Copies of this chain bind each other. A is one copy, B any other.
C-alpha cells in the first residue's frame, strides 16, 4: 500500500510544511520506502519530481522540501510496492494529456484485476495496477466526452468510474487537471480546510510547527488531503467509503 497527499488552494501556496511531515513516512515513521513523487500544477503547466529512492533520504525530496514552489493543485505519493517492481516507471503520480490538459493521478490501494484496456487510447508504461486503472479512467472519459465537460458532469462521471474500480479492490485516489482536485475514498482518506483565523499547526511525524497566521493573508484557503492526518492539533475529517470530493479554490465543491 501507499500514502497520498494532495493540496488544493485558492491562491498559489507552497506545500513545504505538509511535505516535511509526509516524507518522514517514506522510510522513517512508516514503511512506504519504495519511491515517491510529487506533481505541482502551475497554470496549465505541470512540474513533477519522481524518485525510486525513499522520500526520507532522496536528494530530490530534500531539494523539494527546501524549495518553496507555489501551486494551487499538488498531488504527492509515497510508495509501498504491491504490484510492480521498484522503478521510476512504477512511481506515482502518473501523468497523461486529455482534451489539451494534463491529468495527474496517484493511487493508494490494490486492484488485483483491473479492467481491460483493450482498445484504450491510454496504455500503462510501467506494471502497476494503479497506472493501469488511471489509463482506464481517462479512456472511459475520452469515450464519454469529446472535450472537458462542466465540473459537475465530470464529477458524476468520475464517481461512476470510481464505483466500478472500488468493486475490484481498494481504490483511494487523487486526480487533478490543474483546475480541480478529485479525492476518492475507498478505505482511508482525510482532509482539512485551513482558512482564517489561521492558527499554529504541529506535525505528527516530526517535531515541526508553523504558525499559519504569520504566513497567510486573510482570504487564503487551503484544503489538504492525506491518507492519514499530518498534524496532531487540527481537526481532520475522515472521508466515507465510496465518497468522491471535488476540491476547488480550497474547499469541496457541490
Residues of A within 8 A of B (CB): 42-51, 59-60, 63, 67, 87-91, 95-97, 99-102, 121-126
Closest to A125 in B: B44
Q: In the bound complex, do residue A99 and residue B126 qualify as a contact, i.e. CB atoms below 8 Å apart?
A: no
User: Which residues from chain B contact A49 at a C-beta distance below 8 Å?
Assistant: 49
Q: In the bound complex, do residue A101 and residue B88 qualify as a contact, i.e. CB atoms below 8 Å apart?
A: no
Q: In the bound complex, do residue A88 and residue B46 qualify as a contact, i.e. CB atoms below 8 Å apart?
A: yes
Q: Give the distance in Å from the alpha carbon of A97 to the alpha carbon of B124 in the complex.
A: 8
Top 10 closest pairs, chain A to chain B, by CB: A45-B88, A45-B89, A100-B123, A44-B89, A42-B88, A63-B63, A44-B125, A102-B125, A43-B87, A47-B50
Q: In the bound complex, do residue A44 and residue B126 qualify as a contact, i.e. CB atoms below 8 Å apart?
A: yes
Q: How far is the CB of A114 from chain B (nearest CB, A)?
A: 15
Q: In the bound complex, do residue A45 and residue B97 qualify as a contact, i.e. CB atoms below 8 Å apart?
A: no
Q: In the bound complex, do residue B96 and residue A125 qualify as a contact, i.e. CB atoms below 8 Å apart?
A: no
Q: Give the distance in Å from the alpha carbon of A87 to the alpha carbon of B46 in the complex.
A: 10
Given A45-B91, A99-B123, A101-B125, list of 18 further CB < 8 A pairs?
A: A42-B87, A43-B87, A44-B87, A45-B50, A45-B88, A45-B125, A45-B126, A46-B88, A47-B51, A48-B48, A49-B49, A63-B63, A97-B122, A97-B123, A97-B125, A100-B124, A100-B125, A121-B121
